[in-house]
Amino acid sequence: FSLVPNPNYLYLITKHGHALTFLEYGLSEKIGFVMLTGEIGIGKTTLIRYMLNQVEAGMDVAVIFNTNIRSNRGRVC
């Protein structure tokens, strides 16, 4: 068992399919920024790794993990 998410084992349930559609739309329309959030273990990293394997060669993509950004009120965003 590996702790590193493997996109080859992605099982697209309905919610994953919707998230993947939004990510693909963001890339294809070059909207600049797409944020994917969810509970721990839901499959965000696996989904992102799957999508990154589909990205065209000339496209620049950045992925930010575990930002722990705090808002003005001290809550984690």
CB 9 within 8 A of CB 46: yes
The answer to whether the beta carbons of residues 23 and 48 sit under 8 Å apart is yes
Structural domains of the chain, count: 1
CA–CA distance, 13 with 3 (Å, rounded to integer)? 21
- What is the tens place of the pLDDT at every residue in 3-27? 677 787 787 888 888 998 988 888 8
Query: What's the pLDDT tens digit per position in 40-51?
Result: 888 888 888 888
The whole domain housing 8 covers: 1-77
pTM equals 0.67
d(CA 61, CA 38): 20
Please report the DSSP string for 20-48 in residue order: HHHHHHHHHTT-S-------TTSSHHHHH
